Amino acid sequence: MSDEHYSYRLYADPAMADRFDAMRFSGPIGTLLAESQDAVIASFLGPLEGRTVLDVGTGTGRAAIGLARRGARVTGVDASAEMLRVAKARAAEAAVEAVFEVGDAHRLAYPDRAFDAAVSLRVLMHTPDWQQCLSELCRVAGDRVVFDYPAACSAAALQACARRVASALGRPAEAYRVLRSSAVARAVEACGFRVERVHRQFVLPIALHKAVGSRAFTVGLEKALAAIGLLRLLGSPVTVVAVRCGP
């Protein structure tokens, strides 16, 4: 894949790598996001002691470190050496063992079913060819994969559209994609997997929740929106666990 795509250029920047965690997971809402992500992964993967897990697009290693803490033997792969530099430092600080390697999600350098499970978070939305990445994720996983994406039927779709327009006008913007659940299910089935469970996180945009900056407000409002069925219809991002069909 061309390194001209924004997803390669942006995350190759040392300054971006250094501030990434603070941008994504600081403050009350960032902390809530991190805790929710960890809980969903734990629920979807089940017991991990001694199991091998590949974290594709590991970035600064947040998911990989969490998996290692739960006893998994983790390998984290990312196209950005700078992000991996931070990941290695964070793993050392957390006193957990994890292997971090440079690699491209479109062409994973591992044999078929080399890992018990594979995880990929906040990757398909940015990568040049999401179906190829999902195919690779399924290829190297033994029995299950966990990944996420912004839903096409959600407030995230409006932001994604605005960013695509900004990018087309030559402005700096992460012009991420949104995906339809039906398209994701078909892509998973083409790889010999089936969607087992999904988890939808927020009805309202994460940016709005961060702007308000109140965990109590976010939890209370999202709980109310879920109670009237809006989370099931409009919730995003969507986290999926898919399991292999047959032997």
pLDDT digit string, tens, across residues 116-141: 999 999 999 999 999 999 999 999 99
Strands 236-244 and 193-202: antiparallel
b/e code 198-218 from CB counts within 10 Å (16+ = b): bbbbbbbebeebbeeeeeeeb
Domain covering 6-148+178-202+237-244: architecture? 3-Layer(aba) Sandwich (3.40)
- Over residues 49-55, mean pLDDT: 97
- Residue ranges of domains in the chain: 6-148+178-202+237-244
Q: What is the pTM of this model?
A: 0.92
pLDDT in tens, 203-222: 998 889 999 999 999 999 99
Long-range contacts of 94-101 (CB under 8 A, 24+ apart): 94/65, 94/69, 96/65, 96/68, 96/69, 97/68, 98/61, 98/64, 98/65, 98/67, 98/68, 98/74, 99/74, 99/75, 100/58, 100/61, 100/64, 100/75, 100/76, 101/75, 101/76, 101/77
